[in-house]
Amino acid sequence: MLLPWVHVCLLSGFCLSMIGSYHRITQICLGCFILMTLVFQTQQSIASSQAFENDARSPYAYVSTSRDLVSLEAWLMQLGEMTPEIKDQTVAVVGNGYWPLPWYLRMFNSIGYWDLPEVNMIDAPLVFAIQDSAQPTNALLSDSHVAFPRGLRTNVSMTLYLRKDLWEKWIETQA
């Protein structure tokens, strides 16, 4: 993509250098056209980098991880040190579009990925529900787990469910 763009930039610079040789009305029309093009491109750049930065229509755009997820990694490390047995239990991730969550869960030995919640998730120490599956997961785990809303990426939320016995143990160690 960059090589054709370089040629377009060189061509536009050459055209701008030749604008002085045209009639006054042509210069005004070309100037208005260039100004409208720059305004349109600026609006598109702002929309793609801010309003639509995590849109499915732009699949190759890099969307940075939420700061909330970065702080979650340190908390998961502390939880793993407090209860080392959870590293060998299955951590469940429910839903689609969960990247970059696998990177932050790499300390766990067993991670399962499901599209919809299953009954056996009640025994899981940690369940991550991406926003498209949050309601059915909440209906299943509301009695056995404590829910924590977290951010995954910009405009993408998830809910972390921590089993209640682990939550109580965590609260005791923090007091």
Note the pLDDT tens digit of each residue in 84-112.
888 889 999 999 888 888 888 988 999 99
72 touches 150 (CB < 8 A): yes
Task: Report pLDDT for 17.
Answer: 83
pLDDT tens digits, one per residue of 124-139: 999 999 988 889 999 9
Token output for 121: 């998730």
Q: For the chain, what is the domain count?
A: 2
Task: Report pLDDT for 8.
Answer: 84
Please say if the pLDDT value at position 49 is more than 80. no
CA distance 117 to 174: 31
Task: Report pLDDT for 59.
Answer: 64
Quick check: is 59 in a domain?
A: no
Question: What letter represents residue 120's amino acid?
Answer: N
> What's the pTM?
0.69
Quick check: is 166 in a domain?
A: yes
Task: Report pLDDT for 56.
Answer: 66
Q: Are residues 91 and 18 in the same domain?
A: no
Task: Report pLDDT for 74.
Answer: 87
CA distance 88 to 108: 7
Domain interval for residue 131? 67-174
Average predicted confidence (pLDDT) for the chain: 85
Q: Are residues 79 and 42 in the same domain?
A: no
Q: Minimal CA–CA distance to 157: which of 112, 117, 97, 107?
A: 97
Task: Report pLDDT for 12.
Answer: 81
Please say if the pLDDT value at position 114 is more than 90. yes
Question: What letter represents residue 127's amino acid?
Answer: V
Instruction: Report in angstroms the alpha-carbon separations of 122 from 29, 43, 68, 146.
Output: 68, 47, 25, 11
Q: Are residues 86 and 150 in the same domain?
A: yes
CA distance 175 to 172: 5
SS3 173: helix
Task: Report pLDDT for 6.
Answer: 85
Please say if the pLDDT value at position 2 is more than 90. no
Quick check: is 58 in a domain?
A: no
Q: Are residues 117 and 157 in the same domain?
A: yes
Please say if the pLDDT value at position 36 is more than 90. yes
Q: Provide the CATH number for the domain around residue 146.
A: 3.40.190
In the structure, what pLDDT confidence band is assigned to residue 116 with cuts at 50, 70 and 90? very high
